[in-house]
Amino acid sequence: MTDRVVVAGAVYDRGRLLAARRSSPPELAGRWELPGGKVEPGESGEQALVRELREELGVEAEPLERIPGEWPLKPGYVLHVWTARLVSGVPAPLQDHDELRWLGPGESGTVDWLEQDLPAVAEAVRRQPGG
Ligand code: 523
């Protein structure tokens, strides 16, 4: 069986990286992540990312490039991460999150990231415009 892919976005705007605090499930609540979700059958990773960011944050985003690599999540799931640019809208925690924060250069260590997001966050920070 191949693993189910979860996509997440390293969303940048004006040199800052978007972090989202999960409100569910209980074991993940309060921890910060790169926002995203599961790829649905028939979708590409980019399509899933655009959909998830629209549903969860109410924004239109443009995927830029896939950050090479994949990272294990819970059994049967792997994380793929794309850098993305905010095209329109102001992100709001509409689903799954209860707080959002824009992290400027040097601020990525100021939130309590989910362990499984840390390698991708490190790569995202390396690619952060102006970071
Ligand atoms: N993660 C994770 N990091 C991360 C994301 C986007 C997701 O560790 N950056 C985990 C959390 C869940 C699983 O991946 O265990 C699925 O993510 P979720 O719940 O955001 O996916 P959705 O939104 O597709 O979930 P459903 O609405 O439940 O289908």
Give 62-97 pLDDT, tens digit per residue.
Answer: 999 999 999 999 999 999 999 999 999 999 999 999
pLDDT at residue 131, rounded to an integer: 57
pTM: 0.96
Ligand 1: which atom is nearest the Cα of residue 95?
23
Q: What share of the chain is helix, strand, coil (3-state, %, to 5)?
A: 20, 40, 35
* 64 alpha carbon – ligand 1 mean position (Å): 21
Helix (H) or strand (E) holding 60: strand 60-72
ipTM entry? 0.96
Whether the bond into 25 is cis, omega within 30 of 0: yes
* 28 alpha carbon – ligand 1 mean position (Å): 10
pLDDT at residue 31, rounded to an integer: 98
* 36 alpha carbon – ligand 1 mean position (Å): 7
Ligand 1: which atom is nearest the Cα of residue 120?
9
| Contact by Cβ (8 Å): 114, 3 | no
Q: Is 67 in the pocket of ligand 1 (CB under 6 A)?
A: no
Q: Is 34 in the pocket of ligand 1 (CB under 6 A)?
A: yes
Q: Is 77 in the pocket of ligand 1 (CB under 6 A)?
A: yes
Res 130 pLDDT > 80: no
The radius of gyration of the chain's CA atoms, rounded to the nearest angstrom, is 13
